[in-house]
Amino acid sequence: MATRQHRSLSVLVALDSFTLHLRAAGKADSTVVTYRKAVEQLDAFLGAEGRARSVTDVTRRDVEAFLAHLRDRGFRPATIANRFRSIQQFARWLADEGEIQTSFTMGLKPPAIPEEPPPVLTPSDLSALLRSTEGTDLPERRDRAILSLLMDTGMRVSELVGLRLDDLSVREGYAVVLGKGRRPRTVVFDRKAAADVDRYLRKRPEHSAAETTDAVWLGERGPLTVNGVEQMIRRRARQAGLEGRVYPHLFRHTFAHQYLSAGGQEGDLMRLAGWKSRQLLDRYGASAAAERARASHKALSPRNQI
């Protein structure tokens, strides 16, 4: 009796099933988006190279070639490592599901990330971004409020777009966001950010969708998405003369840098940022470490003591 031949899934068909698995496991929307983006980019690369695009045909060399392709296109090492980890999880799931015999990332190590402080925005950069939102129309009020919160809280963009009206207390200066692992936490903001958010909320009822959704941030077609915020930041960066230099997560880097530079406590920063591990604190705080060391040396200079 002839055996039935196993039909291999295409990468994109398998990706849809992988997405269901991630959502069933309670992964954050931002995590799902990150994993999908990596696998979609891998599939597009395979297609452009004329390589097979079924999961049983993907090889370790394909993954290595894809990572090299990202390096050649100027992707940052941290981004390349992120893409690799996402593809690695996809391949492990395929193996666990019996769609492939062994993971096509087996034996590969994550690309090295150079030990260098992450980039940060300067005070003049932040001021230029805020100036690009001057105006009293709804889009200007909204964009200024978003930028102010990103600057003053260091929250993730996915956390920002997930805000609902009941999550915000402008009078008390705090918001409850849903972080990674769907863990809620409270972020705080001061009077200038509160004033910017208040101005937007007073304008929000003018939007046609204001009464049909409790999402805080409204775009042209309804609730603003992560992609919508990313597009807005690129547009405002271009208007501020910072094109190509600003991306959403940079506000998180900058928040950590400024918080520690101003003398904030590391434990408090971990709670505010929603970090469970010191690894992220050490990386994000690296930008401020050199600055603090220079300031400390000025105060403690051995030569100046003589």
pLDDT of residue 51: 87
pLDDT of residue 12: 94
pLDDT of residue 4: 41
pLDDT of residue 262: 75
pLDDT of residue 290: 62
Name the residue type at position 17: S
Query: Rounded to an integer, what is the distance from CA 218 to the centroid of its chain?
Result: 20
Q: Whole-angstrom Cα distance, residue 25 to residue 220?
A: 32
Q: Whole-angstrom Cα distance, residue 29 to residue 74?
A: 27
Other beta carbons within 10 angstroms of residue 244's beta carbon come to 8
Phi, psi of 168 (to 5 degrees): -105, 135
pLDDT of residue 300: 57
* Alpha-carbon separation of residue 113 from 82, 110, 201, 206 (angstroms): 10, 9, 41, 46
Q: Are 152 and 193 in contact (CB under 8 A)?
A: yes
SS3 for 172? coil
* Residue of 200, 271, 93, 20 whose CA lies nearest to 280: 271
Look at the domain 11-96 and name its fold.
Answer: DNA polymerase; domain 1 (1.10.150)
3-state helix, strand, coil in the chain (%, to 5): 60, 5, 35
- Per CATH, 11-96 and 123-294 having the same topology is answered no
How does pLDDT run along the chain (306 residues), one tens digit per residue? 443 445 678 999 999 999 999 999 988 777 898 999 999 999 999 999 998 889 999 999 999 999 999 999 988 888 899 999 999 999 999 999 999 999 999 999 888 877 666 788 999 999 999 999 999 999 999 999 999 999 999 899 989 999 999 999 999 999 999 877 778 889 999 999 999 999 999 999 999 999 999 999 999 889 999 899 999 999 999 999 999 889 888 898 888 888 877 777 777 777 777 666 666 666 666 666 666 666 665 665 565 566
Domains of the chain by residue range: 11-96, 123-294
CATH superfamily label, 123-294:
Intergrase catalytic core (1.10.443.10)
pLDDT of residue 18: 96
Task: For the sheet with 168-169, list strands across it.
Answer: 168-169, 174-178, 184-188
